[in-house]
């Protein structure tokens, strides 16, 4: 176990506003390890403890310093109002300071204290939590982001849920509530989950642990249930300060499903996700990392679970009798349910609404519900935003193997649209599709040592079948040069066998170790790989550029993403090849370049290695010239990153599975059937015209819910049809890209919609280009380079084109964010005046090259 002695810094954070009057305290502190293995690591411990009743036991069981925190907490718990609590803040701060002064000294300009002394209990409590404090942030769709969740899942499922949700109630038709075992609850499809609402940044003073409510309810059918839950929650929290905020999940919404899925133990965050939370740990060697990890008590360490159990977290005293949800819970999840017989009707004093507890009642008030969007914004937390968008937009589901993701139909349909285009184009070029096996024998893999050398750690191997070791392990293709070329050698004899142009659509596996990201860096991905062989270099050169143009087309015309065509530097050229060309995109939010697709001229390197020879017309022997080229599902990730916004995905019409969604908006006394019929007719008209359109006629969701849902999924155009539209023979069209609303007469529906889809496609490209161009910095000196890099720019600089200089640039820019490198030398070169110097070496510059950090 890592001794706290080694820590340089210890800060105590206390949540003081959120648990007033609760019988629990949420006790949280952070330990920051500075310069341990040269990285800063913050561990935050969040623990929920009953204090009011049993502080004395804690004082005995925990060390002084921890006890002091609890005592300070307790002081606060005496507050009767928010204002009193604020006043107590001073007392509390003093308490924290005392702890700091007692055990260490405050760091200059910081709230942190140096702790020279070993505090032996603390490492036991170490827990990963990088995000906002409090257990509450686990609830709702942020939960997946919190490693802390695993604690609950490992502590026992029932208990886990109960730690965040002291009572789990299911709403029954007719306004009754029934307590439900947590596990059943997770499996329910139309359940109202009453949970603590958690810590919400916009609602700081509304966190109470026992009576908050988080609802999962099916809107249409269960709007009433929702209202009942709200009423119940209000009633329950009537005496509570601060009052709870009630959030609602709708059954079937992605948030709700995500939430429910997180309740099932199999969905716990895989370790790589936890590791991903500690970006700075990238710089650790594997050994250091292993050592560091083993130094901490891990969430799934049995002793930790044991320790948690030993805390004997007890729920509060029964607050009101005759309540179905008055439970006594011990740590193993044993529940004693209070007397639950009888029907009880309660008046909701605050809202005036009624709810009926237990059977037989009816509630009367239906309140408007809260919509849930993304919990991270693109500008503030790009990484989290991205993960959330791909999941909530239903492109990706996380899988329990690190770096592997489930590609859901919504993503695959985009892939298929690009595939249809590209496949037809290469067929026009006389490329034929084929399929080679997934497995590679070690022999051929080793044959091309130069090319494989740097990649070897990423090659995955099959070593066993059942329980028996394979005699010879088999590699899984990371790319197919070594799989295909032995057969090229066999199939190519004379000039009549040339050119040989093959392509395959397949998956490849590269066992990446750096931070996996859906679509962008995954251990298995889909791609097409083209492998061609020609008699002459000229033919090969021509094809390299033809293919590159198709890649540009995919990015710019399908995905609406501006790219730069160019050539890779020597250092960045594929080791087995002669030269590499690529299309390069840029992500303004992160200031990183991203290689979109590559088209290589392999020269004759592989031909030499694999003896791919032919005889020309004159009977002379020659070696073939080869190319290889690929684009992958990474394209989809770039699209999400470039166009997505705070409402979710934004799909360019050309790649969207659904270009348009029609939503009926029936008001109370409207001609609902008429509206539904108009929706169906609208879809039929548009579909006949080749527009990918559907109507969302589900009767269990409100129009508002549907709007957000399809916005999250990025459908380019929404058509709403309400009573007014029906009367005027029109529809209302709302653009996803800019929110613009237009009323369209149904007479001109097809033309207008086509026009709008074209405009959306163009606008997405224009906006993306404008954003990218605004990031381009043309510069000439090292100082300017360093400044621009710090400002997340895409740098265009004159370069001497020397490999050592690029290595030097990498070395000089190394750091937490990763080093800068050359991205490409654009084919379109600005003028390079005589005497221009290289920005990095001062030698005469030969070309303009793009530089930056990259994915
Ligand atoms: C990882 C493990 C083993 C990239 C790898 O770009 C081998 C490799 O050869 C490897 N990662 N590469 C380079 C792939 C080059 C080339 N292959 C055909 C392409 C286009 C398609």
**Do residues 483 and 437 touch, judged by C-beta distance below 8 A?**
yes
CB 547 near ligand 1, within 6 Å = no
Tokens 């899942």: give the residue: 153
Residue 254 has pLDDT above 60, yes or no: no
CB 574 near ligand 1, within 6 Å = yes
Q: What angle separates helix 634-643 from helix 409-428, to the nearest 10 degrees?
A: 120
Q: For the ranges 24-28, 531-535, 666-670, which has the lowest average pLDDT?
A: 24-28
CB 627 near ligand 1, within 6 Å = no
Q: Which long-range contacts (CB under 8 A, 24 or more apart) does 268-272 make?
A: 268/149, 268/150, 268/153, 268/154, 269/144, 269/146, 269/147, 269/149, 269/150, 270/398, 270/400, 270/401, 270/402, 271/402, 272/402, 272/403, 272/516
Average pLDDT of span 144-153: 33
Residue 235 has pLDDT above 70, yes or no: no
pLDDT of residue 98: 52
pLDDT of residue 375: 77
Q: To test the ligand 1 pocket, which listed residue (455, 502, 522, 548) has its Cβ within 8 A of the most ligand atoms?
A: 455
Residue 478 has pLDDT above 50, yes or no: yes
Average pLDDT of span 668-674: 86
Encode pLDDT of 630-640 as tens digits: 999 999 999 99
Mean of per-residue pLDDT scores for the chain? 70
**How close is the Cα of 807 to the center of ligand 1, in Å?**
21
Q: For the ranges 160-164, 338-342, 512-516, 662-666, which has the lowest average pLDDT?
A: 338-342
CB 154 near ligand 1, within 6 Å = no
Average pLDDT of span 701-717: 92
Average pLDDT of span 508-515: 88
From the centroid of its chain, how far is CA 160?
24
> How many residues does this entry show for the chain?
855
CB 458 near ligand 1, within 6 Å = yes
Number of H helices, E strands in the chain: 26, 36
Q: Which residue's CA is the nearest one to ligand 1's atom 17?
A: 479
pLDDT of residue 542: 98
pLDDT class for 455, splitting at 50, 70, 90?
confident
pLDDT of residue 40: 37
Average pLDDT of span 533-544: 98
pLDDT of residue 471: 87
Residue 604 has pLDDT above 60, yes or no: yes
pLDDT of residue 796: 98
Q: Which residue's CA is the nearest one to ligand 1's atom 10?
A: 479
pLDDT of residue 225: 56
Average pLDDT of span 700-720: 92
More confident residue, 671 or 247: 671
Encode pLDDT of 374-411 as tens digits: 878 899 889 989 999 999 999 999 887 888 999 999 99
pLDDT of residue 701: 80
CB 448 near ligand 1, within 6 Å = no
Average pLDDT of span 505-509: 98
pLDDT class for 231, splitting at 50, 70, 90?
low
pLDDT class for 340, splitting at 50, 70, 90?
very low
Q: Where do the domains of the chain lie, and which CATH numbers do they carry?
A: 1-166 (no CATH), 207-371 (no CATH), 384-643 (3.30.930.10), 660-771 (3.40.50.800), 779-854 (3.30.110.30)
Q: Determine the atom of ligand 1 nearest the C-alpha atom of 479.
A: 17
pLDDT of residue 616: 92
pLDDT of residue 670: 82
Residue 157 has pLDDT above 70, yes or no: no
More confident residue, 84 or 116: 84
Residue 62 neighbours by CB under 8 Å, 6+ apart: 70, 121
**How close is the Cα of 674 to the center of ligand 1, in Å?**
57
Average pLDDT of span 608-627: 95
pLDDT of residue 404: 93
CB 450 near ligand 1, within 6 Å = no
Average pLDDT of span 669-678: 91
Q: To test the ligand 1 pocket, which listed residue (448, 547, 574) has its Cβ within 8 A of the most ligand atoms?
A: 574
**How close is the Cα of 479 to the center of ligand 1, in Å?**
5
From the centroid of its chain, how far is CA 300?
23
CB 572 near ligand 1, within 6 Å = no
Residue 358 has pLDDT above 70, yes or no: no
Encode pLDDT of 172-218 as tens digits: 656 666 655 544 443 333 333 433 333 322 222 222 222 223 333 33
Residue 27 has pLDDT above 50, yes or no: no
pLDDT class for 454, splitting at 50, 70, 90?
confident
Q: Which residue's CA is the nearest one to ligand 1's atom 13?
A: 574
More confident residue, 51 or 456: 456
Encode pLDDT of 42-68 as tens digits: 334 444 444 333 333 433 433 333 333
Please provide residue 700's backbone torsions phi and psi, each rounded to the nearest 5 degrees. -105, 10
CB 451 near ligand 1, within 6 Å = yes
Nearest by Cα to 610 from 434, 448, 435, 442: 448
**How close is the Cα of 585 to the center of ligand 1, in Å?**
19
pLDDT of residue 393: 95
């Amino acid at each position: 176990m890592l001794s706290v002695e080694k820590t340089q810094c210890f800060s105590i954070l206390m949540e003081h506003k959120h648990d007033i009057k609760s019988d629990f305290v949420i006790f949280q502190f952070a330990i920051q390890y500075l310069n341990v293995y040269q990285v800063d690591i913050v561990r935050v411990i969040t623990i929920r403890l009953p204090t009011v009743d049993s502080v004395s036991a804690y004082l005995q069981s925990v060390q002084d310093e921890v006890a002091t925190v609890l005592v300070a907490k307790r002081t606060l718990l005496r507050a009767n109002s928010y204002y009193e609590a604020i006043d107590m803040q001073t007392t509390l701060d003093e308490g924290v300071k005392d702890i700091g002064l007692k055990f260490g000294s405050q760091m200059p300009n910081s709230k942190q204290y140096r702790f020279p002394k070993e505090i032996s209990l603390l490492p036991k409590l170490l827990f990963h939590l990088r995000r906002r404090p409090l257990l509450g942030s686990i609830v709702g769709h942020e939960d997946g982001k919190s490693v802390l969740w695993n604690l609950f899942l490992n502590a026992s499922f029932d208990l886990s849920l109960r730690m965040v949700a002291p009572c789990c109630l299911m709403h029954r038709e007719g306004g009754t509530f029934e307590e439900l075992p947590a596990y059943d609850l997770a499996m329910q499809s139309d359940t109202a989950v009453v949970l603590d609402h958690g810590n919400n940044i916009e609602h700081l003073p509304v966190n109470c642990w026992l009576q908050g409510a988080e609802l999962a309810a099916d809107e249409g059918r269960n709007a009433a249930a929702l209202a009942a839950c709200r009423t119940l929650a209000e009633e329950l929290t009537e005496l509570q300060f601060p009052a709870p905020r009630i959030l609602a999940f709708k059954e079937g919404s992605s948030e709700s499903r995500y939430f429910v899925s997180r309740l099932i133990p199999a969905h716990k965050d895989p370790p790589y996700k936890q590791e991903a939370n500690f970006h700075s740990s990238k710089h650790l060697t594997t050994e250091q990392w292993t050592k560091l990890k083993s130094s901490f008590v891990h969430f799934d360490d049995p002793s930790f679970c044991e320790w948690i159990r030993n805390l004997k977290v007890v729920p509060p005293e029964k607050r009101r009798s005759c309540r179905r949800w008055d439970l006594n819970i011990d740590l193993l999840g044993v529940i004693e349910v209070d007397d639950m017989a009888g029907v009880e009707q309660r008046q909701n004093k605050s809202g005036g609404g009624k709810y009926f507890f237990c059977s037989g009642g009816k509630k009367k008030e239906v309140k408007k519900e809260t919509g849930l969007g993304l919990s991270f914004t693109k500008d503030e937390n790009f990484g989290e935003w991205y993960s959330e968008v791909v999941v909530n937009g239903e492109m990706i589901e996380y899988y329990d193997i690190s770096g592997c993701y489930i590609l859901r139909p919504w993503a695959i349909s985009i892939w298929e649209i690009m595939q249809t285009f590209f496949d037809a184009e290469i067929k026009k070029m006389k490329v034929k599709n084929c399929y080679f096996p997934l497995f590679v024998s070690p022999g051929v893999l080793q044959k091309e040592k130069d090319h494989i050398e740097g990649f070897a750690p990423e090659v995955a191997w099959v070593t066993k079948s059942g329980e028996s070791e394979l005699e010879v392990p088999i590699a899984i293709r990371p790319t197919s040069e070594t799989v295909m070329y032995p057969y090229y050698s066999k199939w190519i004899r004379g000039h009549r066998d040339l050119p040989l142009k093959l392509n395959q659509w397949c998956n490849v596996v590269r066992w990446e170790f750096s931070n996996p990201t859906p679509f962008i860096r995954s251990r298995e991905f889909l791609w097409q790989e083209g492998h061609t062989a020609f008699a002459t270099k000229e033919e090969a050169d021509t094809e390299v550029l033809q293919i590159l143009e198709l890649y540009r087309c995919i990015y710019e015309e399908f995905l609406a993403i501006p790219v730069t065509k160019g050539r890779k530097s020597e250092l960045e050229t594929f080791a087995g090849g002669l030269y590499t060309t690529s299309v390069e995109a840029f992500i303004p939010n992160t200031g990183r370049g991203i290689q979109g697709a590559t088209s290589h001229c392999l020269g004759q390197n592989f031909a030499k290695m694999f003896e791919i020879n032919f005889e020309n017309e004159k009977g002379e022997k020659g070696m073939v010239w080869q190319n290889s080229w690929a684009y992958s599902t990474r394209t989809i990730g770039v699209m999400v990153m470039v166009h997505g916004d705070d409402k979710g995905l934004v799909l360019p019409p050309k790649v969207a599975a659904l270009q348009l969604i029609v939503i009926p908006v029936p008001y109370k006394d409207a001609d609902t059937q008429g509206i539904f019929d108009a929706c169906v007719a609208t879809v039929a008209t548009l579909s006949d015209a080749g527009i990918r359109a559907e109507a969302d006629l589900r009767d269990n969701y409100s129009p508002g819910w549907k709007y957000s849902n399809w916005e999250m999924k990025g459908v380019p155009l929404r058509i709403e049809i309400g009573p007014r539209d029906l009367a005027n023979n029109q529809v209302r069209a709302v653009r996803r890209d800019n929110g613009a609303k237009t009323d369209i007469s149904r007479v001109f529906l097809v033309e207008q919609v086509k026009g709008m889809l074209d405009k959306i496609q163009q606008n997405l490209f224009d906006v993306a280009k404008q954003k990218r161009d605004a990031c381009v910095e043309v510069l000439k000196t090292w100082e300017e380079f360093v400044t621009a890099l710090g400002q997340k720019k895409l740098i265009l600089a004159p370069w001497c084109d020397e490999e050592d200089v690029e290595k030097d640039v990498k070395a000089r820019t190394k750091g937490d964010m990763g080093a800068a490198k050359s991205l490409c030398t654009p084919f379109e070169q600005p003028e390079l005046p005589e005497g221009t110097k290289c920005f990095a070496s001062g030698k005469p510059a030969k070309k303009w090259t793009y530089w930056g950090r990259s994915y």
